[in-house]
A = this chain, B = another copy of it.
């Protein structure tokens, strides 16, 4: 697939992100993306099903990465430790290219259909993490609770990181958010 077009996928993705940010997702056509990348529409469709897919093609990879991190956690790790390791792996990947992640997030946030798609991908990540926990012998509902809670904490941490452009340390925000949550859940009513 496209051996004669070095890094066609990466060039298309970069061109798409730049155009979506500049003129809006709805207003951008595949023809424009291909042109900006110096490639043809046909090449675009060899790499992506549609212009929406450019924003989500990494999600299967991310899913595998998270499941692998859960599997690789030491045998002594608690379910929540394994979940934490998984979302920390996602954070590390995101921090490899923070500008891309922020740009992408701004595009997704501006469009209801893309926001819905983002939520379903996050839900799929949580399902994958829950499955990986069950493979480690964690029972239900603990597996799903840990995985879904990890996704919730990641969502809050990511939103915070995105809203503070000076703040580069997603990993640190995520770790602090998990500690904060433990505090919130351990709190007793002041009766």
Contact = CB atoms under 8 A, between A and B. Distances in A.
B181 A77 contact: no
A145 B177 contact: yes
Contact of A145 (B116, B123, B144, B184): B184
A155 B149 contact: no
A5 interface: no
A144 to B, nearest CB: 5
Nearest to A182: B185
A149 B140 CA distance: 17
A156 B145 contact: yes
Contacts of A180: 141-142, 145
A97 to B, nearest CB: 24
A69 interface: no
Interface of A: 76-81, 112, 115-117, 119-120, 123, 140-142, 144-146, 148-149, 151-153, 155-157, 159-160, 177, 180-191
10 contacts: A76-B191, A78-B187, A79-B187, A142-B183, A144-B156, A144-B159, A145-B181, A149-B152, A181-B185, A182-B186
